[in-house]
Amino acid sequence: MTQERLEADSFKCRHRQSGKAFTRERRLPFALVVVLIMRNSVKSLQNVVNEAMTWLGQLPVTASAYSQARYKLKHTAFIELNQAAVVETLYGDGDYQRFWGFRVLAVDGSKIILPDNQAIREEFGTIAWTSGKTADIQGERPYALASVLYDVLNRVALDATLGKAKAYEIDLAVGHLSHTRAGDLLTMDRNYPSYRMLAELGRYGRDFAIRCSAASFAEARRMLKGKGPASQVVTLTPCAGQMPSIRERGLPLSLKVRLVRVLLSTGAYEVLVTSLLDDSRYPTEGFLELYHLRWGIETFYGLLKTRLELENFTGISPEAVRQDFHATVYLSGLESLLTDTAQAMLDTKATQYPQTVNRAVSFNAIKNHALDLLLAGGLETDLLLERLTALFLTNPCLERRDRNPPRKKTSARGLLNFHKRQKKHCF
């Protein structure tokens, strides 16, 4: 499906910067440029281009020619590829993982460090930083705020946004709701349970389970101290300061929700606000497992930033940054689809611990075979998928689910040593 889409004139016309872009026959056509961006290699651009031209059996072109070609392309190409080739494919037959019958989606944001130049600063803005020892501002650095709507059980991003450095997480989260549907259950951390967020979810008719902070609703604060029942239904209203904004947006002025308290292994309490009011159908004890699933979006950001090295951008312009971000999100979803068969085979093995596909192996295999996989003229699809599955089964990882190792704070010197001498790159 992806090959046909990349070669289609309609797709090219939707995602090129001008009507004249990619109209002449050149050695860097539209489809090839898309695939090269998607590979997102940490190698030098010239080596990346040389590998592609060798695969095509053509004379090499310069890295400069590739850089000029990529700026004729819009980052929206990767958004459409993720929706059409990943999201629609995964949910098309209705065969996907659920919890309590829900598709469990998590929303979270993460700061992304960007290349430092004037164009990036103007587009995304900056955040001031200090030495950590004093409150005196030492300088400022360009950042973006990424926000993702992520299916934690099926490991696919349904929507992703790259906002300005000081964007409001609630605004970005509300923007994701158009990509949800009935039967979804949204989980979020303690930055999100504002009255406005709950009201927006209610307006869309979406169920939710969101962790409350120590500065949250009054009854939630009491429950965090161990007071009151472990589950109760309450009615929330906006505070006086929020009332004009809530009225202006046409949101309801009262919400009936359920507050659920669970006990963590550390002995601390956690309180969730949820729309699942029926405590017989959705028992209090089950919310501990449900909220634990939200950790999947944290590991997703870890995957983007470490395994796929998102912040090692292949270009320094705002458009290049957006291309790399959305291409990496698409690549992560493609990997989830392609490793599904191998993971099913690992699930049938009788081992002491469950086994999972080694992501270092899977992403390396996909990037190495991206030209064959996504461009016409490569290996037959069935043969290629068979080879990829064999690679995905190489050196699987063990999943020790009950481990809770203590977090260690690493010094700046230790981090530098790791990145210079120990870290192994995926591609």
Question: What does the pLDDT look like over 321-341, one tens digit per residue?
Answer: 999 999 999 999 999 999 999
The pLDDT, as a whole number, for residue 400 is 82
What's the average model confidence in pLDDT over 37-42? 90
In this predicted structure, the answer to whether residue 402 has a pLDDT above a threshold of 80 is no
The pLDDT, as a whole number, for residue 280 is 94
In this predicted structure, the answer to whether residue 138 has a pLDDT above a threshold of 80 is no
**Inter-CA distances, 93 with 90, 97, 156, 180, Å:** 7, 12, 16, 17
Contacts of 290 (CB under 8 A, 6+ apart): 99, 100, 104, 185, 187, 209
In this predicted structure, the answer to whether residue 403 has a pLDDT above a threshold of 80 is no
Q: Give which of 41, 38, 45 is closest to 73, Cα–Cα.
A: 38
Q: Give which of 37, 126, 49 is closest to 79, Cα–Cα.
A: 37
23 or 343, greater pLDDT: 343
What's the average model confidence in pLDDT over 163-169? 97
pLDDT digits (tens, 9 = 90+) for 356-390: 999 999 999 999 999 999 987 767 888 999 999 99
What's the average model confidence in pLDDT over 210-226? 93
pLDDT digits (tens, 9 = 90+) for 275-331: 999 999 999 999 999 999 999 999 999 999 999 999 999 999 999 999 999 999 999
Quote the distance between the C-alpha of residue 200 and its chain's center.
22
The pLDDT, as a whole number, for residue 396 is 94
In this predicted structure, the answer to whether residue 270 has a pLDDT above a threshold of 80 is yes
The pLDDT, as a whole number, for residue 412 is 82
The pLDDT, as a whole number, for residue 197 is 96
The pLDDT, as a whole number, for residue 318 is 97
The pLDDT, as a whole number, for residue 152 is 98
What's the average model confidence in pLDDT over 182-188? 97
With beta carbons less than 8 A apart as the criterion, state whether 38 and 331 touch: yes
The pLDDT, as a whole number, for residue 134 is 67
Domain boundary assignment for the chain = 2-76+311-422, 99-297
